[in-house]
Copies of this chain bind each other. A is one copy, B any other.
Amino acid sequence: MAGSSYGTAIRVTTFGESHGEAVGAILDGFPAGMELSEGDIQPYLDRRKPGRSHITTARSEADRVRILSGVFEGRTTGTPIMLLMENTSQRSSDYSNVAHTYRPGHADYTYDQKYGFRDYRGGGRSSGRETAGRVAAGAVCLKLLSEMGITVTAYTRSIGPVEISPACLTPEGLNPELRLRTMTGMPDEEADRKTVAFLEGCKEQKTSAGGVIECRISGVPAGIGEPVFDKLDAELAKAVMSIGAVKAVEIGDGCACAAKCGHEFNDAFRMGEDGSVRKTSNHAGGILGGISDGSDILVRASFKPTPSIFRPQETVTDEGQDTELTLAGRHDPVIVPRAVVVVEAMCALVLADALIRGVGARADRLIDFYRS
């Protein structure tokens, strides 16, 4: 059944396989009148693009985005925005040895079980390449959020055993520019260096690494999110967990909350000097009862190590025989640096959707809206 769409007020639908003709996305329901061109989107795709350093895959894709609809005279029209990226580097021959053998940690076996067969070239639809469409659509939402004074900043928090310094995690200490310059996406040059050394070790040992990406969303007004099932944190959890290799999603203090006592975890309210309500701490990560409380929203995702490793692995064939598989080809020893912008994109889609959904929450404002 249909499962390639996300969102209610605005809705993104992605399409495309790793080695098909193209990947991309349609973004439907996006508000009209915002200036938009390929130049607003391309920088985000470039952050996701493979082949930028020796710690990511050697595959080289131009990932050049074209806007095929929904923009007229440089502005969005309110109609579906079609974002297309043609695949230019399809070396299908690399994948011939996995056509009938299930790669451990990949979706080969489960796709075959669900659909009866699969596009085995580079993982087909289950490839990380699918996220190019998410990033393109997310970039459009990031621009809208930016015009509303909302910033979405994801960065690598850890890879394998290396974690960035706590000083770099605070709102004051976080240097967003730095994460764009380091190979790892870490906003901490020393941790970046250590990580690169660790990853070189992983490559030598023919293994791979996982890591943690954190996303800080600032400027969201209080009152955003729907109660009960479509809580803002529930939507963030779904959106971020839907990124290929994610195995855990945390909000605010996340898992650490379970061992705390109520008097340690509750965030007190105080009136700010500007007459607005503030919290004196933010263990909750900016969301109470599924609705934003005006503090920064903090989301954290744990990524498993890339399943493609170059050691021999035990597995089975699609005809039910035990076998051993040694992968060749182009694979990232760690997916995390390239996934940072994907986390940003998914958070942006969630927030943009939630902000539009929130507009009809009060009868008096709704009536005013149509009167003016």
Contacts and interface: CB of A to CB of B under 8 A. Distances in A.
A267 interface: yes
A355 interface: yes
Contacts of A160: 258-259, 261
Nearest to A211: B258
Contact of A69 (B21, B357, B364): B21
B271 A320 contact: yes
Interface centre among A205, A261, A357 (most CB of B within 10 A): A261
A242 B251 contact: no
Copies in the complex: 4
B15 A10 contact: no
B370 A228 contact: no
Contact of A262 (B10, B209, B261): B209
B229 A288 contact: no
A363 B144 contact: yes
A197 interface: no
Given A109-B288, A241-B251, A360 B125 contact: no
Contacts of A29: 1-4, 226, 360
B79 A125 contact: yes
A258 B2 contact: no
A25 B265 CA distance: 32
B147 A208 contact: no
A210 B265 contact: yes
Interface in A54-98: 66, 68-70, 72, 75-82, 84
A184 interface: no
Nearest to A212: B258
Interface string A244-265: 1011111111111111111111
